[in-house]
Amino acid sequence: MPSTVLVLNGPNLNLLGSREPEIYGHETLSDIAALCERTAESLGIAVDFRQSNSEAELVNWVQEARTSRAGIIINAGALTHTSVALLDALTASSLPVVEVHLSNIFRREEFRRHSYISLAARGVICGLGSQGYELALAAVARLIAKPSKRTASTQKTASKKTPAKGKRTR
Ligand code: CA2
């Protein structure tokens, strides 16, 4: 059975496609869900795509994912900039997390430049619209395939006696 990645979408993302297309594009959330399904299939993984306007529901879903999902992709919407609860849940999940934003949060209002979620994220993708979800899925698929990359390289380094001349070690 393929590994399943939880793709979470926060408040107001259900409105996509209806307003502010100059910022968020013309695609609806259903279009993005379909894109994620197709992308996941091509990567040999599965997606569980969800949206909620409730912080509590999102926290509950992250907690449930801990034992049933292989990774999390999250566009927390405005909760990105406010929610320590979501940050704590993501950190506690110990799963690989990739944060996505449709818009470039660094080209917008000052308050959007800070993300609590980023502290729990292995990577952050913003400003590329729905393509960000595709890229995040590819990144999570790799992280799932090589979950202990850091450990493996640490082991390799630890087992090396002396580094080759002129070669850098970390
Ligand atoms: O760029 C993103 O993906 C955001 O996460 C979207 C959030 C915003 O609060 C973040 O700063 C950046 C807002 C989602 C609301 O989307 C709407 C879509 C259409 C109409 C109104 C809101």
b/e map of 72-105 (b: 16 or more CB within 10 Å)? bbbbbbebbbebeebbebbeebebbbbbbbbbeb
Pick the atom of ligand 1 nearest to 112's CA.
Answer: 11
Phi/psi of residue 42, nearest 5 degrees: -70, -20
Q: How far is the CA of 65 from the centre of ligand 1 (A)?
A: 24
Q: Which residue has the least CA distance to atom 6 on ligand 1?
A: 77
- From the list 81, 101, 114, 116, the catalytic residue is 101
List CB contacts of 112: < 8 A, sequence separation 6 or more: 80, 81, 105, 106
Task: State the Cα–Cα distance between residues 116 and 81, nearest whole angstrom.
Answer: 6
Q: Is 77 in the pocket of ligand 1 (CB under 6 A)?
A: yes
The proportion of the chain whose per-residue pLDDT surpasses 90, expressed as a percent, equals 81
Q: Mind listing the pLDDT tens digit for each residue in 22-47?
A: 999 899 999 999 999 999 999 999 99
pLDDT 10s digits, 54-98? 999 999 999 999 999 999 999 999 999 999 999 999 999 999 999
- pLDDT, residue 59, reads 98
Could you confirm whether 24 is annotated as catalytic? Answer: yes
pTM of structure? 0.87
Ligand 1 pocket residue status of 51, Cβ below 6 Å = no
Ligand 1 touching residue 114 (CB < 6 A): no
Q: Is 117 in the pocket of ligand 1 (CB under 6 A)?
A: no
The string of pLDDT tens digits covering residues 3-26 is 999 999 999 999 999 888 899 989
Q: Is 101 an active-site residue?
A: yes
Identify the band that residue 156 occupies on the pLDDT scale cut at 50, 70 and 90: very low
- Output the pLDDT for position 2: 86
* Ligand 1 contacts CB of residue 128 (under 6 A): no
Centroid of ligand 1 to alpha carbon of 77 (angstroms): 5
Does pLDDT of 151 surpass 50?
Answer: no
- Measured distance CA(163)–CA(169) in Å, rounded: 7
Q: Over the stretch 97-116, which tens digit does the pLDDT of each residue have?
A: 999 999 999 999 999 999 99
